[in-house]
Amino acid sequence: SNIFILSALYLERRLAVGTVSETAGWILHIFNLTCMLIFPSATVLTVTSMTPVGGVISLGIYTVLFLKLYSYQDSNRWCREIRQARAKRLTRSYSCPDVPQSNGSAVHSHVSYPGNLTHRDMYYFVFAPTLCYQLNFPRSPRVRKRFLMRRLFEMLFLMQLLVGLIQQWMVPTIQNSMKPFQEMDFSRMVERLLKLAVPNHLIWLLFFYWFFHSSMNFVAELLQFGDREFYRDWWNSESVTYFWANWNIPVHKWCLRHFYKPMLKRGTNKFLAQTAVFLVSAFFHEYLVSIPLKMFRLWAFMGMMAQVPLAWFVGRYLNGNYGNAAVWMSLIIGQPVAVLMYVHDYYVIHHSSTK
């Protein structure tokens, strides 16, 4: 991964001094980003000892790095546009939208372009719990040791709890669901689906807390990263769009800053721009599931794209508590369906191959 990181940094340095043209720089950045997605996926598919869990973790790391480096090249290009325009002040924002600064009162040296093109700046961004690059991040004044230890304890405890719940509750439930699926016994399939919904949803909620609250706050505290808005009140969502905009703030800000708003500025209408965002999200969901499992069924892709008509239906016909209930039902029922579909296909492929 360091090869891709350093390639992006050195390319930006060449662009800053003008030894590489903007067109050539853009092509090289796209090549670097494309290789970043192809290399880990090819490795996962060809290495027989790679487990699905290991594949998901590897591809997840490279996906995060892909989004970070895309933001890095985009932000530095905007800086060059401002520098070239000189007196003309562009209205583009170089920080993530709606970033609260209340946690960032520490005094740090102000960096301006191209002084940001350093190894220290690049690797701080790589490890920082954000996907949106900016020249000057909000910083906290000190590392709070008690806060850090609480988050570390939560991380260790919840990880053990998650592993135990998956092994002792979820896996046996999934195994017991295979026979009804093979026999296409609809009534028993529904019963197994509802049984799976309980542990699946509990594990999803615990994982959300472990990742977005405990882990990301732990990393942010270590790096004195001031912006701690990793999620908002998605549980109060009365529409599907509100849920997707508030449950994963780092990804939402990236999509808004680097994909959705640029499309609107090019004249794309809001519905097509929103659909395009879901399309990109669907691609990465499928990328993170199909490749580690080494089978391509598109269930995750179709599940994400189904959010578009679901969002339209809930927004048009359901309001208030009814909309909130629809969002929760889609979470509680939708995820187990996808899990069973993938596990069933994975079981059939590997079970038939052993015969």
User: Which residue(s) pair with 139 in the sheet?
Assistant: 225
Q: What is the pLDDT of residue 88?
A: 55
Q: What is the pLDDT of residue 97?
A: 41
The span from the CA of 340 to the CA of 333, in Å, is 11
Does residue 347 carry a pLDDT above 80?
no
In this predicted model, what pLDDT tens digit does every residue of 4-39 receive, in sequence order?
999 999 999 999 988 999 999 999 999 999 999 999
Q: Are 238 and 231 in contact (CB under 8 A)?
A: no
Buried b / exposed e across 218-238, counting CB within 10 Å, b at 16+? Answer: bebbebbbbbbebbbebeebb
**What is the mean predicted confidence (pLDDT) over 322-349?**
84
Q: What is the pLDDT of residue 93?
A: 47
Reported as a pLDDT band with limits 50, 70 and 90, residue 86 is low
Q: What is the mean pLDDT of the chain?
A: 87
**Long-range pairs for 176-181: beta carbons < 8 A, 24 or more residues apart:** 177/340, 177/343, 177/344, 178/343, 178/344, 178/347, 181/340, 181/344
Q: What is the pLDDT of residue 351?
A: 60
Range of lowest pLDDT (62-66, 111-115, 171-175, 264-268): 171-175
Q: What is the pTM of this model?
A: 0.88
Reported as a pLDDT band with limits 50, 70 and 90, residue 196 is confident
Q: What angle do CA 83, 85, 90 make, to 5 degrees?
A: 95
Boundaries of every domain in the chain: 1-103+113-139
Q: Are 319 and 325 in contact (CB under 8 A)?
A: no
Q: Which residues are the active-site residues? A: 285
Q: How many other CB atoms are there within 10 angstroms of residue 82's CB atom?
A: 14
Does residue 108 carry a pLDDT above 80?
no
Q: What is the pLDDT of residue 48?
A: 87
Reported as a pLDDT band with limits 50, 70 and 90, residue 99 is very low
**What is the mean predicted confidence (pLDDT) over 294-307?**
88
Does residue 168 carry a pLDDT above 80?
yes
Measured in whole angstroms, how far is the alpha carbon of residue 206 from the centre of its chain? 17
In this predicted model, what pLDDT tens digit does every residue of 245-288 receive, in sequence order?
999 999 999 999 999 999 999 988 999 999 999 999 999 999 99
Does residue 98 carry a pLDDT above 60?
no
* End-to-end Cα, the chain, rounded Å: 39
Does residue 354 carry a pLDDT above 70?
no
